[in-house]
């Protein structure tokens, strides 16, 4: 065991004694920042992942607190960790988050992305919001229940997974296939996907119950290689660029799903004119190309609730500036509304590319799923938010991104997305962007909310 890990283990043991002697809330107030800072300093960028670092981090804590746990390594450097507090025979609650994070370009950040730096207002670093803070909130809720020493009415399970940012094949997909016994008796899953949003003086909370479907594609063009000084009239790169330019003109038909209509109607009061009126009469908004274009400029996240989208995210051709490549490829991240069949979308994309010689390879796709609002976990989330923020709008939502929750929905296990944080537009831009950070106020709120929620579900 390294000196660093030994020091951390001793610290967790000391903190446990403090919790037992003086109550967990006092000690936890000091620990949340340190825990998250330590976690962020573990570089689990995917690729390559290296989530074994995160698994070891949690394993040391669980061992110090005497909590049953297992590190499950699926490939060199790729690991997941499962932990459990046993309880009664009510359906188990699973607390889920992912340990991998998207890469960060340090030159674009105000603070080093894996520093875990803390100032008077924020804690900085990749994963501060997506989704290492959620993991720390869930960890502290489990430790709080352990410290109380009371009999639980259900099993409480903690699961930190690998590879979510790349589709989950090294994480939850592998676990569900190879270790299905870990998920027996699960009655509800709490994962990422929803949060609080502050717009001026208004506050709303979205609890994710469904999500758009990913359709990830690779489009490849082939041609004759050659010297950059004497290019041919046509090349793989030229054909690919021309096809992608045509694809950029593809606009899927705007659609208003029933749940999205309710979501936008409830949020309408939080928006200024003319958006207040437009979101109340969202049918007219959807049918107006001009208003839809204006919505994309006003709030691209709301726009994505109403239309399937495609984004060109990766491009590659020659490895040298003076070589005309024999192959050029692009990867395209399409997100489809839940009623938009992937086969139909692929046909539209193929027509838009307009080049039969291109090779189109699907990389990722899955089926839609929705979790009902009549469920013990959704009701507990809604109740706790309403008690703490009686003036806030609380709505079920569809997220434009995808999370590991879809794996559970495909198995018939209800899953809900909610990270207990409240973000303004500037903070929200850090998710998958530059300068990701979480406020110290959100750290306190997230810890307290998660601990109260889990305690109510597992003890009442």
pLDDT, tens digit, for every residue of 393-422? Answer: 999 999 998 999 999 999 999 999 999 999
**Cα-Cα end-to-end distance for the chain:** 40
pLDDT of residue 1: 46
> d(Cα 212, Cα 255) in Å, to the nearest integer?
13
CB 421 within 8 A of CB 445: yes
Q: How many CA atoms lie within 13 A of 205 on its CB side?
A: 21
Cα(98)–Cα(404) distance, rounded to whole angstroms? 8
Predicted local distance difference test score (pLDDT) of residue 367? 84
The structure tokens listed for 354 are 């307009």
Distance of CA 304 to the CA centre of its chain: 16
> Counting beta carbons within 10 angstroms of the beta carbon of residue 339, is it exposed (0 to 12), middle (13 to 18) or buried (19 or more)?
exposed
Q: Collect the ranges in the chain with pLDDT lower than 70.
A: 1-30
Q: Report the candidate in 119, 151, 132 with the shortest Cα–Cα distance to residue 46.
A: 132
Instruction: Note the pTM of the prediction, 2 decimals.
Output: 0.89
Q: Which CATH class is domain 211-365?
A: alpha beta
**C-alpha–C-alpha distance, residues 95 and 418, integer Å:** 11
395 forms bridges with which residues in the sheet?
Answer: 206
Contact 94, 83 (CB under 8 A): no
**Spans of all domains in the chain:** 3-193+403-459, 211-365
Topology of the domain covering 3-193+403-459: Aminopeptidase (3.40.630)
Q: Is residue 309 a contact partner of residue 320, using CB atoms and an 8 Å limit?
A: no
pLDDT for position 7: 58
| Residue 422, phi then psi, degrees to nearest 5 | -125, 120
Quote the pLDDT of residue 4: 47
Rg (CA), the chain: 23
Q: Tell me the helix, strand and coil percentages in the chain, rounded to 5.
A: 40, 25, 35
As given in the structure block, the two tokens for residue 366 are 């899955």
How far apart (Å, rounded) are the C-alpha atoms in residues 97 and 130? 9
- What does the pLDDT read at residue 27? 38
Tell me the two tokens of residue 369: 């799923």
Structure tokens at 281: 């009469």
**pLDDT for 13:** 55
Residue 346 in contact with residue 215, Cβ under 8 Å?
Answer: yes
**Beta-carbon contacts of residue 213 (< 8 Å; ≥ 6 apart):** 335, 336, 337, 338, 340, 342, 365, 366, 367, 368, 402
Under 8 Å between Cβ of 82 and 174: no
Decide the pairing of beta strands 195-199 and 422-423. parallel
CB of 156 closer than 8 Å to CB of 450: no
Q: Compute how many other C-beta atoms are within 10 angstroms of the C-beta atom of residue 13.
A: 13
Q: What's the confidence (pLDDT) of residue 9?
A: 54
């Amino acid at each position: 065991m390294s000196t660093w890990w030994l020091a951390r283990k001793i610290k967790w043991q000391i903190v446990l004694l403090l919790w037992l002697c003086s109550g967990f809330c006092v000690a936890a107030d000091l620990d949340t920042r340190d825990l998250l800072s330590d976690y962020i300093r573990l570089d689990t960028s995917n690729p390559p992942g290296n989530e074994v670092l995160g698994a070891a981090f949690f394993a040391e804590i669980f061992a110090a607190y005497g909590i049953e746990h297992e590190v499950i390594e699926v490939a060199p450097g790729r690991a997941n960790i499962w932990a459990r507090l046993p309880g009664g025979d009510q359906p188990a609650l699973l607390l889920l988050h992912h340990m991998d994070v998207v890469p960060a370009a340090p030159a674009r950040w105000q603070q080093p992305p894996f520093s875990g730096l803390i100032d008077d207002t924020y804690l900085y670093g990749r994963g501060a919001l997506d989704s290492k803070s959620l993991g720390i909130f869930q960890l502290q809720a489990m430790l709080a229940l352990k410290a109380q020493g009371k009999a639980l009415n259900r099993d409480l399970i903690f699961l930190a997974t690998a590879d979510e940012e790349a589709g989950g094949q090294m994480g939850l997909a592998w676990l569900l296939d190879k270790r299905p016994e870990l998920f027996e008796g699960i009655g509800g899953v709490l994962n990422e996907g929803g949060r609080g949003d502050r717009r001026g003086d208004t506050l709303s909370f979205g609890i994710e119950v469904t999500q758009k479907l990913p359709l990830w594609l690779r489009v490849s063009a082939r041609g004759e290689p050659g010297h950059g000084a004497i290019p041919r009239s046509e090349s793989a790169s030229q054909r690919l660029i021309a096809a992608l330019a045509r694809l950029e003109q593809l606009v899927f038909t705007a659609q208003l799903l029933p749940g999205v209509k309710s979501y936008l109607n409830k949020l309408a009061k939080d928006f200024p004119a003319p958006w207040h009126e437009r979101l109340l009469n969202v049918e007219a908004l959807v049918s107006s190309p001009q208003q839809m274009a204006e919505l994309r400029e006003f709030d691209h996240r709301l726009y994505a609730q109403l239309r399937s989208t495609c984004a060109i995210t990766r491009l590659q051709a020659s490895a040298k500036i003076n070589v005309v490549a024999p192959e050029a490829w692009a990867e395209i991240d399409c997100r489809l509304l839940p009623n938009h069949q992937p086969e139909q979308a692929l046909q539209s994309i193929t027509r838009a590319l307009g080049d039969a010689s291109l090779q189109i390879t699907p990389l990722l796709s899955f089926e839609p799923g929705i979790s009902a609002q009549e469920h013990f976990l959704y009701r507990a989330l809604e109740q706790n938010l309403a008690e703490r923020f009686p003036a806030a709008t609380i709505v079920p939502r569809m997220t434009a991104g995808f999370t590991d929750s879809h794996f559970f929905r495909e198995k018939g296990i209800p899953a809900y997305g909610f990270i207990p944080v409240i973000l303004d537009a500037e903070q929200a831009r850090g998710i998958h962007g530059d300068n990701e950070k979480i406020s110290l106020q959100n750290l306190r709120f997230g810890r307290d909310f998660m601990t109260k929620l889990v305690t109510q579900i597992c003890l009442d």
